[in-house]
Amino acid sequence: MVLHAFADGAEPHERRSNPGSVRATPVIFAEGDIPYMPPPAEHCRRLLATAVDVANEAPAPPVTRATWLMQVFFAIHPFVDGNGRTGRLLCHAILSEHSPVGIDWGTIPELAARRADYLEATRGPLRPSLPDYDARLIEPIHLMEYVVQAGIDGAARTCARLASLGDVFGRLVDAGLDEDRALIVLAVAADRNARLAEIEHLLDEPATVTSMVVELVDAGWLVWDRAGNLQPSGPNPFRPR
CATH number, domain of 189, equals 1.10.10
Confidence of residue 241 (pLDDT cuts 50, 70, 90): low
The yes-or-no verdict on residue 9 having pLDDT over 60 is no
Q: Domain boundary at 95, 126, 157, which?
A: 157
The residue segments making up the domain with residue 229 are: 178-241
**8 Å CB contact between 146 and 107:** no
Band (pLDDT 50/70/90 cuts) for residue 1 is very low
Same domain, 142 and 184: no
Same domain, 82 and 53: yes
Closest CA relative to residue 223, chosen from 192, 183, 179, 182: 192
Q: Is the pLDDT score of 115 beyond 90?
A: no
Instruction: Please tell me the distance from the alpha carbon of residue 191 to that of residue 232, in angstroms, as a whole number.
Output: 10
**Digit-coded pLDDT (tens) for 194-207:** 889 889 889 988 89
- Cα–Cα distance measured from residue 211 to residue 46, given in angstroms and rounded to the nearest whole number: 55
- Cβ count within 10 A of residue 230: 25
Share of the chain residues as helix, strand and coil, in percent rounded to the nearest 5:
55, 5, 35
Assess whether 35 and 94 both reside in one domain: yes
Rounded-to-integer distance, Cα 182 and Cα 171, Å: 9
Q: Which of 157, 189, 211 lies at the terminal end of a domain, its last residue?
A: 157
Please choose, from the candidates 70, 77, 63, the residue with its C-alpha nearest in 3D space to the C-alpha of residue 145.
63
User: What is the spatial distance between Cα 74 and Cα 129, in angstroms, rounded to a whole number?
Assistant: 14
How confident is residue 74, by pLDDT bands cut at 50, 70 and 90?
Answer: confident
pLDDT above 80 for 60: yes
The answer to which of 1-5, 105-109, 114-118, 236-240 has the lowest mean pLDDT is 1-5
Distance (Å, rounded) from C-alpha 112 to C-alpha 225?
32
Residue 172 covered by a domain: no
| Cβ atoms within 10 Å of 219's Cβ, excluding its own | 12
Lowest mean pLDDT among 29-38, 100-109, 127-136, 138-147: 29-38
**Count of domains observed in the chain:** 2
147 shares its domain with 241: no
Q: Is residue 66 part of a domain?
A: yes
pTM above threshold 0.95: no
Average pLDDT over residues 121-128: 83
State the CB neighbour count (10 A cutoff) for residue 216: 21
